[in-house]
Amino acid sequence: GGNEGIGEQVDYKIIGIEPGAGIMQATETALEEYENLADWSLVESSSAAMASELQKAYDKKEPIIVTGWTPHWKFAKFDLKYLEDPKGVYGEAEVIQTLVREGLQEEQPSAYTVLDQFFWTPDDMANVMVEIQEGADPAEAAAAWVEENSDKVAEWTNGAEEVDGEKIKLAYVAWDSEIASTNVVGKVLESIGYDVDLLQLDAGPMFAAVAEGDADGMVAAWLPGTHASYMEEYGDKLVDLGPNLEGAAIGLVVPTYVEADSIEDL
């Protein structure tokens, strides 16, 4: 149904990211729920590959449909819109939550305090993400942000005793949003004396690593919808420290020049 042209022009393909991402699971559901997507397929790739496909199509003003999320630098760089999702497959507003391993509060109270108090806005995250997208090394972009936002950082470290080189391992997935947040939290933990390792994994292994205690924590849980399946599987072995960012969202995203407003228009 809907606008025949788009499907043909994009070869009935939605450009996705890494297979384990919750947005990929949600899009597989969308392919089943929306009968007009019966002949469409979801291309598994990576966040970086999706971004370069988007850039190429955008430069040629060609239609493209990507699995998108907010916060993300693409909304600052391109004129984009979410397709309406009348069946609610992509959920409502999401939050990004902090989860840590059992035992962290007793063994590393200072790290626990910082991770528990870490909270920032989509604008804060976007500032770091855009720097990285424009070529800055993630750790350097994070250090610069921490330097420039010492008052906000002081709220996060309030009450955390300095430590002397203890190790902390943070797990994350190479989504632009989590590269930014994990590097910032890592820099803040370093500022109170921790020796921080960042462990890049896919989504499932990230939840498993924290649940098994192979990593101390993560600031990358998209809830309640996006990572619901991982919370079902690992939630009882995770300590949930609540949101570190509110106002997140996932969905199908197109350039505004694409003449579709809803998934049902594809």
Ligand X SMILES: C[SH](C)CC(=O)O
In the bound state with ligand X, the residue whose beta carbon lies nearer, of 21 and 129, is 21
Of these, 69, 73, 156, 194, which contacts ligand X (CB under 6 A)?
Answer: 69
Site size for ligand X, by CB under 6 A? Answer: 12
- In the complex, the smallest distance separating the C-beta of residue 209 from ligand X, rounded to whole angstroms, is 15
**Minimum distance, C-beta of residue 17 to ligand X, in the bound complex (Å):** 6
Q: Which is nearer to ligand X, 163 or 174 (CB)?
A: 174
User: Is residue 30 part of the contact set for ligand X (CB under 6 A)?
Assistant: no
Binding status of residue 71 toward ligand X by CB under 6 A: no
**Smaller CB separation from ligand X, 18 or 131:** 18
The window from 17-25, 124-132, 191-199, 205-213 that contacts ligand X (CB under 6 A) reads 17-25
- Least distance in angstroms from the C-beta of 102 to ligand X: 23
215 phi and psi, to 5 degrees?
Answer: -130, 155
Residue whose CB is less far from ligand X, 117 or 182: 182
Task: Determine the Cα–Cα distance for residues 115 and 98; give it in Å rounded to an integer.
Answer: 7
- Beta carbon nearer to ligand X, 94 or 116: 94
Distance CA 188, CA 162 (A): 11
The size of the chain, in residues, is 266
Q: Which is nearer to ligand X, 175 or 194 (CB)?
A: 175
The Cα angle at residue 143 between residues 131 and 74, in degrees rounded to 5: 20
Q: Which of 82, 226, 234, 253 binds ligand X (CB under 6 A)?
A: 226
Q: Is 203 in the site for ligand X (CB under 6 A)?
A: yes
Q: Of the two residues 143 and 203, which places its CB atom closer to ligand X in the complex?
A: 203
Taking CB under 6 A as the binding criterion, the range among 27-35, 100-108, 188-196, 219-227 that sits at the site for ligand X is 219-227
**Is the CB of 141 or the CB of 203 nearer to ligand X?**
203
Name which position in 14, 23, 83, 160 contacts ligand X (CB under 6 A): 23
Q: From the CB of 52, what's the least distance to ligand X, in Å?
A: 16
Strands 94-101 and 238-255: antiparallel
Q: How far is the CB of 265 from ligand X (least distance, A)?
A: 23
Q: Would you say 73 and 47 are in contact if contact means Cβ atoms under 8 Å apart?
A: no
Residues 6 or more apart in contact with residue 41 via CB below 8 angstroms: 12, 13, 14, 31
Beta bridge partners of 195: 167
Which positions from 122 through 161 interact with ligand X, judged by CB under 6 A? none
Which amino acid belongs to residue 96?
I
Distance CA 117, CA 42 (A): 38
Residues that bind ligand X (CB under 6 A): 17, 21-23, 69, 175, 177, 203, 222, 226-227, 250
